Structure 1
């Protein structure tokens, strides 16, 4: 089997055969080469998901994303296929899970309630609000608050992967790493979303920023982040949930403003 740790440039002959000569055997070899990437993404996403979501299902969805990535990738652009494919694989898994609608309505309502609380209070105070302030606003005690965070943890894994607009595939997080040329209107919207996200991240606590950075930029799993930060996995999950609720509120407001301008 071809070494998956090598870059796509090492296997340019395969890519040329697949893309320029439509060689099905070359495509099959590329799929086999990058299957470990599907397994890696599936393992990472499986952390914190309900027990009724099997890793085998995630892997199956991811394989479809890998095939789509191979079909759409241009090896001549000089980009890393592993990075591009990871987004496609993750996106295929998320799309399939969304279609299954496995998150109970009550959990979605709790997530929305917390998201709105963070958005309102942080607009009012212009800073990161404390757990105690959120509890006072929602008229709940801290135990109830922690329980809510645990229940909604599984919903926050997809938040930064949500599309900016209902009919587009561009995600909230992808605007930070997309280097393709866009038309002037898109560039204005992209700059606005990026600026909004950067300001929202600045208002996170130091621990929340660390979790977001390690999870989305360093590609560590929640359990690996727990080891790095010497905290329990459940504590990392709570920090992640709180950070995502804050970011989602800010980005949701930005999305609504963009839609109003269209």
Structure 2
């Protein structure tokens, strides 16, 4: 993660609190740790909220995230030598996504539109031997390019979970990999295990590599570098809404490419 979310001073303080909590079951230390790591919850909730409709209350996201943080505090193993922030962010994200799934806030009609675009991206990629342009996709869907752009805006909310979902291996449901994990990270502290797991990683990484350059850049900067859509827009010299659109198209392309190769959970 590129951003510094917890200050060095707080991290130093956390070392003392962890000892009190894990070794002495000190409840007050646990409460202090929750407060100290609350910025992680705000960070994850803020990033997820970018693609959510206004009717999704950000306070609900924060509540779900706090449950994830508490779960992370309980299950974190200090002896493994991992960074708690990395572990906690995954737990917090998962807790928020579980809460969103339970809300079932995306209308079935919007999900259907997203599926139709996914299939169209896949069909055109196979037909053309490359990723299709907006004009080509609009033509295949039988709509104007303007209407296609509007549809992309409508289905944006269906893509928020995609790179944070766990994509399960077909033969071993106990092993899983996120699309996020396929982006190269030399600092990755969790070793992968199993041939099927590695095969899945390669498949997902290959799908990302086939994305158009700008879409691939958005995926890397947003999920690996931890930048906001606004920051990515500044880097690429385009508006935040344009970056959001590129993100949506990238996710729909990925889902279309992977639909025929792996069983997955959305």
TM-score with structure 2 setting the length: 0.86
Task: Tell me what 1:65 maps to.
Answer: 68
- Identify if the C-alpha distance between structure 1 residues 158 and 207 changes in structure 2 by more than 3 Å, giving closer, same or farther: same
For this pair of structures, how many residues does the alignment match? 253
**Superposition map of 1:84-163 within 5 A:** 84-163=87-166
**Deviation for aligned residue 1:76:** 2.4
**Deviation for aligned residue 1:31:** 0.6
Task: Tell me what 2:239 maps to.
Answer: 232
TM-score with structure 1 setting the length: 0.87
Cα distance between partner residues in 1 of 2:129 and 2:57: 41
Cα distance between partner residues in 1 of 2:255 and 2:174: 18
The answer on whether the counterparts of 2:64 and 2:99 sit within 8 Å (CA) in structure 1 is: yes
* 1:5 has 2:7 as partner: yes
Moved more, 50-59 or 171-180: 171-180
Task: Tell me what 2:179 maps to.
Answer: 173
Contiguous gaps of at least 5 residues in structure 2: none
Cα distance between partner residues in 2 of 1:70 and 1:200: 34
* 1:15 has 2:15 as partner: no
**Deviation for aligned residue 1:238:** 0.9
**Deviation for aligned residue 1:126:** 3.1
- CA offsets 1:199-245 (integer angstroms, 9 cap, x no match): 21122111101110111001111122222222112111110011001
RMSD: 2.4
* 1:83 has 2:86 as partner: yes
- Identify if the C-alpha distance between structure 1 residues 222 and 175 changes in structure 2 by more than 3 Å, giving closer, same or farther: closer
Cα distance between partner residues in 2 of 1:234 and 1:181: 36
